[in-house]
Amino acid sequence: MPSLRPVLAGFAACLLLSACAHEPAAQAHRPAHSRPVPAAAAANTPAPAAETARKESEETLPAHTGIQACDDYLASYRACHRAAAIYKPDQIESHYQQMRQSLLRDSLRPEIRPQLGARCNSLARSLRQALHGKACEPDPATASSTTH
């Protein structure tokens, strides 16, 4: 039986790449005239335009990516991550929200959208490997609400 560590390391790398895919490349240097800002002054400084735009766009994200592989991956994300025990149970929702926002944002970007299907298929393959044949259980809220 293969070790779980390389599979999880690969999966974590995929998550990091997908979560950061929407971020612009970091600048290599600071301008010479820039000085550190004291914490009190920084607290009163308005948010940068890019951060404000990102928050506004998160509020207007679509419900689905429109890419079958990504929508299927998101639909099974919580249950399969719970079954694979990749994250602690109390961390799954925050990881799901990060992944969901990343995929939904990228689905709106014409330069990234064509690669999303392959990215989601890769994420799903990594998750299936981490499951080692286990089935994904439905979300507890979904399962209990359907038994009434």
94 part of a folded domain: yes
- pTM value is 0.57
> Please, which pLDDT band fits residue 19 given cuts at 50, 70 and 90?
low
146 part of a folded domain: no
pLDDT in tens, 93-108: 999 999 999 999 999 9
Residues 6+ apart with CB under 8 A from 71: 64, 65
pLDDT in tens, 62-85: 999 999 999 999 999 999 999 999
35 part of a folded domain: no
50 part of a folded domain: no
pLDDT of 84 reads 92
113 part of a folded domain: yes
116 part of a folded domain: yes
pLDDT of 119 reads 96
Domain span at residue 9 reads 1-18+62-136
**Could you write out the DSSP letters of every residue in 50-104?**
HHHHHHHHHHT--S--S-HHHHHHHHHHHHHHHHHT-S-GGGHHHHHHHHHHHHH
What is the number of domains present in the chain? 1
